[in-house]
Amino acid sequence: MRSTEVYEQNIENTRKDINEVNKGIDRVALLRGVSFIVLIIIGYQYFKKGSPIILGLSLVLIGVFIYLAITHTREKEKLRELELLISINDEHLRRAEGLWKDFSDKGEDFLKEDHPFTSDLDIFGESSLFQWINTTKTFYGRVALAKILSDSKLPTKSKVNKRQKSIRELADKLDFRQRLELIPLKHKSSIEKTENFLSWVKEENSWFLSSNVNLLRIIMPCISLITVLLIVFFKVPFSLFFLSLIINAGILSLKKKEIEKALEEIYSFKKNLAAYYEGIELIENQIFNEELNKSIKEKINSKDGVKASKEMKELSNVGELLFDRANMIYWLLNALLMWDFMLMARLEKWKVRNKDKVQNWLLALGDMEAYSSLSNVCYDKEHWVFPEILDEDIIEGEEIAHPLIIPQGVENSFNLNGELKTALITGSNMSGKSTFLRTIGINMIFSYLGLPINGKSFKLGRMIPYTCMRTKDNLEERISSFYAEILRVKNIIEATKRGEKIFFLLDEIFKGTNSVDRHLGAEILIKQLMDKGAKGLVSTHDFELCDLEKEDRRIKNLHFREYYENNEIKFDYKLREGRSTTRNAVYLMKMAGIELLDKE
């Protein structure tokens, strides 16, 4: 069954479940109303007659009413989960149908101008890979996915194989992946930085665990409760109770700053804590067979046998015991029972046990979210193929297309093997040169990520793409587009000097200068990069540069062409051998209204 059919079926089944839950909610609401009315009637009879039997019946009805209220709340929560599942499947359906370009999270905050490839190959930003596949719902998942997508270190052949197996396994676990999405949404968890929380976890405050404080934490609430009993049964002055509250409040104020910092941190983060512990528990209970997935799970397995989910739930439970600290009810409860001291003792004990573990747990959760996002490609594009990573620095692609072009882009076959190191791509404007460079580059990135590629077959060695394509002015830093291009080229040259295995993608190199300098600079740069062991593609309008094929057997010419029908320019975007022999700039100028005279 195709992925779109699975999502549609899930939506249909979930809607049926929603109808059943709504019926249940209506029944419970009706029973609550009836029980409340009966309770009022029986309560009236009790106050009128004072019968013990009626009192007992009233208490039973109160219990029934509370049970129905709890059941109603649980059914409402179940209803919300089902509604969220529909939205999750609807988003997956839109992703599979290519309607993902309106998704709000584009990962633009991860863009870096000096990165080897993320900007030019649309890894982040508008219509990007991140925008397409991202299903992470926590801060750690989002950061983990961005880190994997932008990794410019060459993965080993073994690591790529492990990634492929991991992604295949996760692709088959759709229910698990959707549950991983659902949990943070259910708890309304926010994607926010957690540095303050992690800093707090590592800050120990042993004062709250000292024997004297433990004694105070037990004795002072007991004294307060004893005063209440004395007031009720022995008519002791009420002022004694106020005195006990004031004394307790005074003791609490000794560590007011530390208490407020810790408890406010937990209070503001408690929705995330609930999502984290449930997410970790979900991973703990999942069986994995592939090595990479098992290694992620092992990060949350404690050597002492204590489950990470249990520990995170303990922290989440403390958060659930907190409510608005400015509330008068909280103040009274706190002064009566030394509530803050009790919570701080629990938190400090938790930190002692877990301060060195919690970050690894959250990182593991993030890694699982990230690989679950990557597996969307495998699940939704079942006809795509996994590439083969070779030991030789070659590229051989059959019917390769750009994975982010919707609908399906034009397929082209391409190879750069043997002694060939550079392909010069010529062609008229809009014929497909830049898109082809990006097609090869992003399919290389897909390959190293362990993803299937958009093509019939793809074999390649281990080479990191370095791009120089979308250079632009930066007025704030007073950088012209030409100088920005020079900086990109400098990064490529420095990478080759460091001995990195480079696959360069240069789009109309040095277009910001005169034709003589452009030709000279491009020729020297290409030869310099090849001499350093690099390979790559260069698109150009400089037909003279194509003469390099005659001088250097490491270089070959390829081209795209245009054709005309009914005086309209057309493109087939098919890659052909040899240099381009056509131009369309004059035609396009005339379309713009420039009155050019035809030369006789």
List, for residues 536-552, the tens digit of each pLDDT value.
999 998 888 999 999 99
In a domain, 364, yes or no: yes
Average pLDDT over residues 442-448: 97
List, for residues 482-499, the tens digit of each pLDDT value.
778 888 999 999 999 999
Q: Which of 57, 81, 96 is the last residue of a domain?
A: 96
The beta-carbon contacts of 496-499 under 8 Å, at least 24 apart in sequence, are 496/529, 496/532, 496/533, 496/534, 497/532
Confidence category of residue 471, pLDDT binned at 50, 70, 90: confident
Q: What is the 3-state secondary structure (H, E, C) of 149-204?
A: HCCCCCCCHHHHHHHHHHHHHHHCCHHHHHHHHHHHHHCCCCCCCCHHHHHHHHCC
Give yes or no: residues 371 and 326 share one domain: yes
Give yes or no: residues 506 and 366 share one domain: no
Statement: residue 409 has pLDDT above 80? yes
Lowest-pLDDT choice from 152-156, 309-313, 319-323: 319-323
Statement: residue 209 has pLDDT above 60? yes
Q: Which amino acid is at 179?
A: R
Statement: residue 294 has pLDDT above 70? yes
Give yes or no: residues 425 and 533 share one domain: yes
Give yes or no: residues 472 and 348 share one domain: no
Instruction: Return left, alpha or beta for 155; rule: phi > 0 is left, psi -120 to 50 is alpha, else beta.
Output: beta
Average pLDDT over residues 292-318: 88
In the chain, how long is the greatest CA-to-CA distance? 120
- Taking the model in full, what pTM does it have? 0.89
Tell me how far apart the alpha carbons of residues 359 and 277 are, in angstroms, rounded to a whole number.
13
pLDDT the model gives residue 501: 95
pLDDT the model gives residue 326: 63
The two three-digit tokens of residue 176, written as one number: 């698990």
Tell me which residue of 85, 72, 75 sits closest to 15, measured CA to CA. 85
In a domain, 109, yes or no: no
In a domain, 143, yes or no: no
Q: Which of 362, 381, 400 is the last residue of a domain?
A: 381
Confidence category of residue 392, pLDDT binned at 50, 70, 90: very high
Q: Residue 257: which residues within 8 A CB-CB, separation 6 or more?
A: none
Residue 417 is part of a domain; what is its CATH number? 3.40.50.300
Burial class for 391, CB neighbours closer than 10 Å (0-12, 13-18, 19+): exposed
Confidence category of residue 4, pLDDT binned at 50, 70, 90: very high
CA distances (Å), 130 to each of 10, 89, 127, 150, 266, in order? 25, 18, 8, 10, 31
Give yes or no: residues 396 and 313 share one domain: no
In a domain, 170, yes or no: no
Statement: residue 435 has pLDDT above 90? yes
47 compared with 156, residue with greater pLDDT = 156
Tell me how far apart the alpha carbons of residues 316 and 189 are, in angstroms, rounded to a whole number.
13
Q: Which of 326, 347, 381 is the last residue of a domain?
A: 381
List, for residues 61-89, the tens digit of each pLDDT value.
888 888 999 999 999 999 999 999 999 99
List, for residues 194-203, the tens digit of each pLDDT value.
777 888 888 8
Give yes or no: residues 368 and 408 share one domain: no
361 compared with 42, residue with greater pLDDT = 361
Average pLDDT over residues 583-598: 63
In a domain, 243, yes or no: no
pLDDT the model gives residue 474: 56
45 compared with 131, residue with greater pLDDT = 131
Average pLDDT in the chain: 89
Give yes or no: residues 344 and 431 share one domain: no
Give yes or no: residues 362 and 395 share one domain: no
What's the domain range around 81?
A: 1-96
Give yes or no: residues 427 and 532 share one domain: yes
In a domain, 46, yes or no: yes
Give yes or no: residues 319 and 437 share one domain: no
In a domain, 90, yes or no: yes
pLDDT the model gives residue 600: 44
Percent of the chain's residues with pLDDT above 90: 58
Give yes or no: residues 417 and 438 share one domain: yes
Give yes or no: residues 260 and 347 share one domain: yes
In a domain, 285, yes or no: yes
Average pLDDT over residues 453-461: 97
Lowest-pLDDT choice from 52-56, 388-392, 530-534: 52-56
Statement: residue 478 has pLDDT above 80? no
Statement: residue 584 has pLDDT above 90? no
488 compared with 44, residue with greater pLDDT = 488
pLDDT the model gives residue 565: 77
Number of structural domains (the chain) is: 3
553 compared with 233, residue with greater pLDDT = 553
Confidence category of residue 322, pLDDT binned at 50, 70, 90: confident
